[in-house]
Amino acid sequence: MGKGGAEPGDFALTESGVVPTKKPVLVCVLDGWGVNPITDEWNAVHCAETPTYDALTKVEGRFTTVAAHGPAVGLPTWDDMGNSEVGHNALGSGQLIAQGARLVDGALADKSIFTEEGWNYIKPAFASNTVHLIALLSSGGVHSRFDQIEGIMRGAAKDGAKKIRMHVLLDGRDVPDGSSIQYMTDLEKVLSELRAAGCDAQVASGGGRMHMTMDRYEADWAMVKRGWDAHALGEAPHKFKDPVEAVKSLREIKPNDQYLEAFVIVDDSGSPVGAINDGDAVALLNFRADRMVEISKAFEYEDFKEFDRKRWPKTLFVGIMQYDGDLKLPAKYLVPPPSIVKTIGEYMAKNGLKTFACSETQKFGHVTFFWNGNRSGYFDEALETYLEIPSDNVPFNEAPLMKAAEITAAGVEALKSAKYDQVRVNFANPDMVGHTGNMEATTEACTFVDQCLKKLLDTVEELGGVFLVTADHGNADDMVQRNKKDKKPVTIDGVIQALTSHTLAPVPVMIGGPGLPASVKFNTAVEKPGLSNVTGTIMNLMGYNSPSCWEPSLI
Ligand SMILES: O=C(O)[C@H](O)COP(=O)(O)O
Ligand SMILES: [Mn+2]
Ligand SMILES: [Mn+2]
């Protein structure tokens, strides 16, 4: 890989003379829409009615697929599925960037994590205060990884931490539902080893990742409050003495890891074992940014109005990464985040080109924050219009159309306004509904997104514009867990096991529109294309040569 963030410097763009400038360019991301080689009754993209998409895939020389997982998006191995953060970072930057998962792996391998500034900052709490570690308990590799969490727990104990408290979010979204029991059992095993070695290490609080703590883009601050109450205050509706017992019992109330209710672990006298106090160290161990920003603000900001914290302990607070480069949040971190510079958003702003970006809350930051290299601000507010359509806070299998109609209407209006050089939208449905594991609802989601796509493409047609349609990773394209050998669905007691996670499938890239000269086709010579090859393609569609610091364009 080797390529980090590009050298900052000259942002000059030159016109290519092949595709005209100054015409509307639509960039549409179908979130979680993979091109899966398995096209059976569990592929919701395949089962949906998608006449618009189908027609695009048949246009000679203007349909291709690119890799959206593993090293193609800066992740450690080809077994790592892609995700929205790394996918949109790649789409927005055109570069192969070693991502959080990889950077933490490196810092653990050479042990530099235990000698750098962030670790030294929390170390004073080790001897006589408590070290609190908050993490998604998962090996999904999207937000966190169990082996990294374990490495940091062991590193703290080795460095003299007397008391460690784990505050864990149960997954069932990036890993199979029901796996929370095994993860908690595995965690308990490590903790009991640490206890045997003299460190008072215990689970203190927990609950489902979609129930508490891990909200994103301010969709539902009440989620973060539930996390705060359990992790920081030691207050939760459920109290247990044993964490494995906690997960088992809570699954009886709601058999869905993602939505398990909040619990705290209490001692024999009924007091929580891990409320957070002044002088304690607190480290967030999720490397991915979007779902860590809000809880970071709750710990870090003295002036905080989103909910009543009741008590704000003065802690030594760090993230495993810095999550927001504009806000510099958190101020202290264990591993330096990837440096993502020279994004297409910055190029456009420096050249006076105007952007309209829109999605609903759940994906709003994907086409802004992630797209711009994990920056919550603007490059030039006068040139960038960002529109967020509020998402409903409902289980998306019950409302699979989500806000796709509203996003479409906003996209159509932006295109027709003739104010923008690029109109960028993200449809959340295939991904968000795909994560529920509900095949029927996900199929409906894909069918509806196809209808929305048609409206956008009709507008591009009417205006003589150009379009590029792609996706950030797979999800809806496989809704069932499969046996490795024969790829048949996994069944337990005769019940087919749903797949709630992303897939390893490549994603489509489709270009067209009346503004695109007939000669423009995909260049089949580009080797092993991935999502970062799409950025230069977009720049070409806008009429400019692609900057040399980006991966080659696909055309
Ligand atoms: O955070 C989530 O919802 C999932 O872990 C990953 O989904 P996303 O990468 O599509 O947001
Ligand atoms: Mn996504
Ligand atoms: Mn997803």
Give the model confidence (pLDDT) of 343-389 as tens digits: 999 999 999 999 999 999 999 999 999 999 999 999 999 999 999 99
User: Would you call 133 helix, strand, or coil by DSSP?
Assistant: strand
Is it the case that residue 101 has pLDDT exceeding 60? yes
Average pLDDT over residues 175-195: 98
Q: Does the Cβ of 173 fall within 6 Å of ligand 1?
A: yes
DSSP symbol at 426: E
Is 472 annotated to bind a ligand? Reply is: yes
C-beta separation of 284 from 134 below 8 A: yes
Q: Which of 259, 262, 287 is nearest to 118 (CA)?
A: 287
- What pLDDT is recorded for position 9? 60
Res 2: pLDDT = 29
**CB of 290 closer than 8 Å to CB of 369:** yes
Per-residue pLDDT at 10: 85
Residue 201 alpha carbon to ligand 3 centre in Å = 33
User: Contact at 8 Å (CB) between 289 and 85?
Assistant: yes
Selecting among 16, 84, 296, 546, the annotated active-site residue is 84
Residue 1, pLDDT score: 29
> How far apart, in whole angstroms, are the C-alpha atoms of residue 111 and residue 123?
15
- Asked if residue 83 has its Cβ within 6 Å of ligand 1, the reply is yes
Share of the chain above pLDDT 70, in %: 98
- Whether residue 173 is annotated as binding a ligand: the answer is yes
**Is the minimum distance from the CB of 142 to ligand 1 under 6 angstroms?**
yes
| Residue 84 CA, closest ligand 1 atom number | 9
* Identity of the amino acid at 31: D
Task: Compute the distance from residue 80 Cα to the ligand 1 centre, in Å.
Answer: 13
- Cα 71 to Cα 85: distance, rounded to the nearest angstrom: 14
* 84 is annotated as an active-site residue: yes
83 CA: nearest ligand 1 atom: 9
Token pair, residue 168, equals 């864990």
Asked if residue 167 belongs to a known ligand binding site, the reply is no
Residue 174 Cα to ligand 3 midpoint, Å, equals 8
- Domains annotated for the chain, with CATH where assigned, are 30-97+339-541 (3.40.720.10), 101-319 (3.40.1450.10)
Using CA atoms, how far apart are residues 322 and 501, in angstroms rounded to an integer? 25
- Residue 501 pLDDT more than 50? yes
Choose which residue among 361, 435, 442 to substitute to test ligand 1 binding: the one with the highest number of ligand atoms within 8 A of its C-beta. Answer: 435
Q: Quick one: tokens of 44? A: 């919701």
Q: Does the annotation list 424 as a binding residue? A: no
Give the pLDDT band (50/70/90) at residue 206: very high
Mean pLDDT, residues 115-123: 98
259 has a pLDDT exceeding 90: yes
The pTM assigned to this predicted structure is 0.97
Predicted pLDDT of residue 357: 99
As a dihedral over the C-alpha atoms of residue 247, residue 252, residue 258, residue 262, rounded to 10 degrees, the angle is -60
Enter the ipTM: 0.99
**How confident is the model over 435-463, as pLDDT tens digits?**
999 999 999 999 999 999 999 999 999 99
Q: How far apart are the first and last CA of the chain?
A: 22
Distance from the alpha carbon of residue 428 to the mean position of ligand 3, in angstroms: 9
**Residue 238 marked ligand-binding:** no
477 token code pair: 């394209």
Alpha-carbon torsion (431, 432, 437, 440), positive or negative: negative
**Count of alpha carbons within 13 Å of 317, Cβ hemisphere only?**
21
Are 466 and 19 in contact by the 8 Å Cβ rule? The answer is yes
Q: Measure 18 CA to ligand 1 centroid, in angstroms.
A: 37
In the predicted model, what is the mean pLDDT of the chain? 97
d(CA 217, CA 417) in angstroms, rounded, equals: 27
In this prediction, residues 240-261 reach a mean pLDDT of: 98
Quote the CA–CA distance of 294 and 266 in Å, as a whole number: 26
pLDDT band at 481 (very low <50, low <70, confident <90, very high): very high
* Ligand 1, atom nearest to 216 Cα: 1
Closest CA to 157 of 204, 201, 205: 201
Task: Identify whether 330 is preceded by a cis peptide bond (ω within 30 of 0).
Answer: yes
Q: Which of 424, 480, 451, 408 is nearest to 54 (CA)?
A: 451
User: Confidence class of residue 4 from pLDDT cuts 50, 70 and 90?
Assistant: very low
| Ligand in closest contact with the CA of 136 | 1
The three-class DSSP label of residue 266 is strand
